[in-house]
Amino acid sequence: KQEVTQIPAALSVPEGENLVLNCSFTDSAIYNLQWFRQDPGKGLTSLLLIQSSQREQTSGRLNASLDKSSGRSTLYIAASQPGDSATYLCAASDSGTYKYIFGTGTRLKVLA
Amino acid sequence: GAVVSQHPSWVICKSGTSVKIECRSLDFQATTMFWYRQFPKQSLMLMATSNEGSKATYEQGVEKDKFLINHASLTLSTLTVTSAHPEDSSFYICSGDLDSYEQYFGPGTRLTVT
């Protein structure tokens, strides 16, 4: 059974810092790995999707990498801003059923 | 990107009543729709998978008689919480699957049972 874990659970950084969020999954037979942002009381905002055949994706200040063999994905946020404060979730989709298994989330606070 | 809507965005109901949540794919046909539940400060947990015209498949531990799912068309799925109780209070999010490549998520529905 796929399990997805995110470390750290919470992170507080000063504005301007570069930071890395980690996502680990136990079953490497994934179809996609997707990163989301969730603001308090809101739905999900898709950030980056990495197909299983890809190694990384970039969008603006965000870069996500995927290493299937080690069961890890990282989300790199450059030059963090207070507006980046949110919960970040990763989700791995099963290669057979396409179901998404969500990680435990990282609550990020960027201090002005 | 593909857009999914949910209605209502929030609902308060009394214990013992039933409440229906709609999930619509606005600009694409979703062969498969998924329903998730999120408790405060927790992650999303998949409840069930529904395919148009067939019965939903429920995850282990989810009561199918309590959470009725109907996927009547390629653009509409409904989740009915029957005989709701306070412990059913949660944030319910649906998603639509486009060609099994990516899921597109709705904005969520907050249910409070008093």
**Alpha carbons A108 and A19: distance in angstroms, whole number:** 10
Residues of chain B whose pLDDT is less than 70?
Answer: 100
Please tell me the predicted confidence (pLDDT) of residue B31.
85
How many C-beta atoms lie closer than 10 Å to residue B11's C-beta?
Answer: 17
Contacts of range B85-88, beta carbons closer than 8 Å, 24 or more positions apart: B85/B15, B85/B16, B85/B113, B86/B15, B86/B113, B86/B114, B87/B113, B88/B113
Residues 4-63 of A with CB under 8 A from B: 31-32, 34, 36, 41-44, 46, 49
CA distance B28 to chain A (A): 17
Q: Which of A98, A102, A103 sits opposite B97 (nearest CB)?
A: A98
B110 CB neighbours in chain A (<8 A) are: 41
Distances (CA, A) of B80 to A53, A78, B88, B110: 38, 43, 12, 13
Q: What is the pLDDT of residues A32-70, one digit of tens each?
A: 999 999 999 899 999 999 999 999 999 999 999 999 999
Q: What is the pLDDT of residues B51-61, one digit of tens each?
A: 888 889 999 99
Q: Are A67 and A73 in contact (CB under 8 A)?
A: yes
DSSP annotation of B26 reads S
Classified as helix, coil or strand, B106 is: coil
Q: What is the pLDDT of residues A8-42, one digit of tens each?
A: 999 999 999 999 999 999 998 898 999 999 999 89
Mutation pick from A6, A59, A102, A106 vs chain B, by most beta carbons of B within 10 Å, is: A102
**Confidence grade of residue A96 (pLDDT, cut at 50, 70, 90):** confident
- List beta partners, residue A56: A65
CA distance A41 to chain B (A): 8
Classified as helix, coil or strand, A13 is: strand
